[in-house]
Structure formats: structure tokens, C-alpha cells
Chain A
């Protein structure tokens, strides 16, 4: 009996070992695709509260607090977002609805409660400030993997280190960027952007990762403008996945009447 258990255990160990060796991926497109899924598509849907502290070059601070609901139309593909602002007071009640389309322009709406106005926002440069932060709109919603060429420059014990160059250099402010993608979780842990002069001018880094319902999730990160124009740190809390948020939550109705059942904090979460 004991022998059989031993044999089974060693067999399992063998399988596990070979599995983790198989995880030594060399195709950069596969790594980027998995990183995209890990960073932006955890679960079929999700709910999270976020807050940001924005520090400008003079050290002055601004704050933002909002709740995000997300639903994937397709894993790695289109997604819906609903962002409800809570702080600061001049944007409280503002609601942002995004229908993200991979390979096409996103549809975006903003609800301004003071005017009862549903404002449609035209497609714009995605590499501009998200609500006044150093994060770009694209950092929050994800940059489509097929917008860049990817090269695996080295593999360390912990990271795949990749260099990415834009297919359309005129559409972005960087000439290339390097990502450090964790081999275990596929989360991009550090991204450094290089300008045309060859200098690193912008760094996005993960400060804390937690396991939320089996999904390794970034709970703290920050972005630094290395030209001395300040930084933004961001924290996520009260995260939950696979809540079964219906498609109807991501419609005009939620702009005027934010869906409280989905926005409220899940019981027992921190």
C-alpha cells in the first residue's frame, strides 16, 4: 500500500516537474498574450475599488477614488467597464461607461450629474492622462498586444524580460518599452518606457500582488515620470471576480442610476 502511494506521489512529482519545465516559454507573442490575460482579464467579470494619489512636480497631491465594474465579452477581446467616481467631491457621481473594442475605437460615455447630461466622448489618443493621473487611459484598459512587435531579450529565474516596439511609432510617445513579466503569474511587474533619445522617462511598477479567488491580482502599483514631473500611486481593494454581472449593467441606465447591487462591497472582502 505504502509503495503504491509512493509510486503515485513520484509520478505526480514527475508530471509537475515536467509541467513547470513546459512553462519555460520562448515565444514572445505567447508570453505577451498570457500577460494580457493575467493583467486585464482575470475571471469573466470583476469588481474593485480603486484610489489614486497623484503627486505633481511641486509635490502637491490630488486624490481620486472610484469603483470599477468589468465584464469580458470575450477573453482577450472586447470588454465593458463602468467606473463610478466617489472622490474628490467635484467629480462625485460622475459615471464613465466604456465599451472597449479590440482593433477598433472604444465607445465611451460620461454622465455629468449636475447637468443630467450623458456626454459621448469621441475616440482620442489613449496615451493621455486618465482623470488627471500619471496613468494613461491605456494603462488602465490595456494596450492591444498586436500594436507592438515583441522580442524576448532574456529569461531570468523570476521574469521574462521583453522589449516591445510600436508598429506605428507616430501613434505613441515612446520609441520602445521593456516589461518584466513574472514567470509564475504572468503579471507585468515593471514597465520602462524609452524615448527617441534612448532615455528611460517613465516607469510603471507593481508594488503588491495578492491572490484573489485564485487570480494573482495587482493591489498596489505606481507610475513615475522620470523627468521629474511627479508620480501617481494606485491601490485596489474589495476585489471580487466572477460575480455574474449581467450585460445590462453596462448601459445608459447605469449612468443615471448606478447599479448599487453590483457596486456595493462584497461581504467579507478587504
Chain B
């Protein structure tokens, strides 16, 4: 969470010079227990991923075939072991790295590309806007899961291609939100007032459009992180993303599904992690949205 809000500051405060605004957002966010709880959970998961080497009790790759599918609470295996006898706790801790990376990176890249496209289209307006947005709509017409699977499948299985296809999946929705908000802001009186005081197109985009548009887009993008994590897990589950033996929650869910009748609690663990992380991102994004509303 610290890294997320930190990056938001860099993106927005630099053009906006509105540090006062962000102190206000932080003040309001602090009073929202749900958002703070979600932020703490995300922070813990991020820390867990960052310091996996120091936290994990065992090697996540080394399995002991004699101790396969042990239940939760087995001595030496606090969260049991998987189908190859590897320590579940260690694999879950290491898995946070790839899962978070696959959740955040595509959204982050799509945030830049999508909002650039959307803001441009929205500000220019007219026919060019129609051309750009209808092209975007073509991509938007596919269900996101199908599009990601189709792109990954066409590009070939692999980590990089999975990232690429997820990025492509998230550009259209972000561009649409950016375009909608920009069109709205563009017709506001304060943009006309800025024109009346001699501001050029670039100055208006930099100050008034970015200042008012990046907030809502950023909040929306935060809510997409959970979707991205689930999609990434889905790709790995289908064998299109991360490959074994890499620890990644989606892939673990896939390989453990055969054990669902033997050790259901162990098999549910990766899914629980995905659930907890994505719902935390969603709750944080909700909190951010209300905290970023100035008129409170």
C-alpha cells in the first residue's frame, strides 16, 4: 500500500503541485477503518513477498515424496504440504511475488497507456475521438477472460506473454473511463475559465484535465488489480501463464485441484490467498474513491 500510494503521489503531485490535496486525501483515508485494514493486509502481503527468503521456513522447490499432501498443522509443515511434498507455507509466501507482480504490472502499464489514449481522445473530441473509441470498443466487446486466454494462447504460453495479454485486456476499460471523465471535465466551466484566462491546450490538459481526471482513473485502476490477479491465476491455471515448478497461487490452485478430496483445506489455501488479496485491493480502492472526493 505504501508503494501504491507513493507511486500515485509521483504521478499526480508532480504535474498538479497539489500537495495540500494529497494531505487531505490521506487525512480522510486514515479515518476509514475498512480501507486502512485492507491497506494493512496489502502491506503485509507486499512485505511477505519482498522478504520471502527470510520468512519462508523451507525451500519452496524441494519436495519430499514421502510426505505428500500432509494436512494443516503437521509438525514441520504448518500449512501442510502439496502433491509433491513441498512446504505449502513457503510456497504461498514465495507465490506472493509472482501473483502480486502479475496483478499489479499489467494494470500499471495499462494505466499509463489507457489513460493517455482516453485523455487524448476525450480532449480532442469529434471524429478522431469516435475513431479511437470505437476501435477500443472492438477489444472491449470480448469478455476479458476470453480475450486474455485467446491472446495468451495465440502468443504462446509463458510469463511474458501472459503479462502482455493482460495489459492489452486492461487498456480498453481504462481508456473508456479516462475518455468519459475527460469529456466530462472538458465541458466544465473551469476549463472554459482557464481558456478565458489564456491557457493553451497543453496547459489545460496538464493542470485542469490531469488534476481532475487522474484521481478517478487511478481509483478505477486499483480496483482492476484484483481482476488482474484473478485473470493471471486463471491463465496459470490453464497452463498459459507461469510454468511449474514456479510457485504462483493460480498455478498452485491448478495442480492441487486433484487433491481436493484428499486434502480440501490445503487445496483451498492458494484460492484463499487470491481472494484475500483481491478483496483487499477492492476495499482499498473503494476507500480511496471516497477519500479522493474533495467535497466531504
A binds B: no
Q: Which residues of B contact A (CB under 8 A)?
A: none
